[in-house]
């Protein structure tokens, strides 16, 4: 399964626009660098799992909104997961990303 970062960026941009936020506002809310969101939205930069979680939190949605284009409002576990990811070491984040990528490729039950 190939990951389409252009689609992910478009979904992030669509959600940001729907909420009426400027890129700089979302960057501040997500605590990411200046112009990084622009690069993500255009598919130039590949966001880490942590950044996807931060953006989901900043845009009051779930990561699956960006990754696969769906939103599950009844499941608020993503917020607690985002909090857990913030405290991981770079090595742990890398392992978490690998697991999440593997998990996203599995058939849904």
Average the pLDDT over each of 30-34, 56-60, 64-68, 100-104 and give the range with the smallest value. Answer: 100-104
Number of domains the chain is built from: 1
Provide the domain limits for residue 62: 5-104
Average pLDDT over residues 28-57: 93
48 closest CA partner among 73, 69, 61, 31: 31
Instruction: Note whether residue 87 is domain-resident.
Output: yes
Q: How far apart are CA 94 and CA 8, in angstroms?
A: 19
10, 68 contact by CB (below 8 A)? no
Mean pLDDT of 37-60: 93
Whether residue 109 lies inside any domain: the answer is no
Cα dihedral sign for 100, 78, 24, 93?
negative
> Per-residue pLDDT averaged across 101-105, rounded?
81
Work out the average pLDDT over 40-56.
93
**Interval 21-29 mean pLDDT:** 95
| 21 domain residue, yes or no | yes
Q: What is the CATH number of the domain that holds 83?
A: 1.10.260.40
Give me the pLDDT at residue 78, please. Answer: 65
What is the phi/psi pair of residue 50, to 5°?
-60, -45
């Amino acid at each position: 399964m190939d990951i389409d970062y252009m689609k992910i960026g478009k979904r992030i941009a669509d959600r940001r626009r729907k909420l009426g936020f400027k890129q700089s506002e979302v960057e501040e809310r997500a605590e990411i660098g200046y112009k990084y969101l622009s690069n993500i939205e255009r598919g130039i930069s590949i966001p880490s799992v942590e950044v996807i979680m931060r953006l989901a939190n900043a845009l009051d949605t779930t990561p699956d909104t960006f990754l696969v284009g769906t939103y599950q409002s009844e499941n608020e576990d993503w917020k607690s997961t985002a909090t857990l990811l913030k405290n991981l070491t770079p090595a742990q984040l890398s392992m978490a990303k690998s697991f999440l990528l593997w998990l996203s490729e599995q058939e849904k039950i």
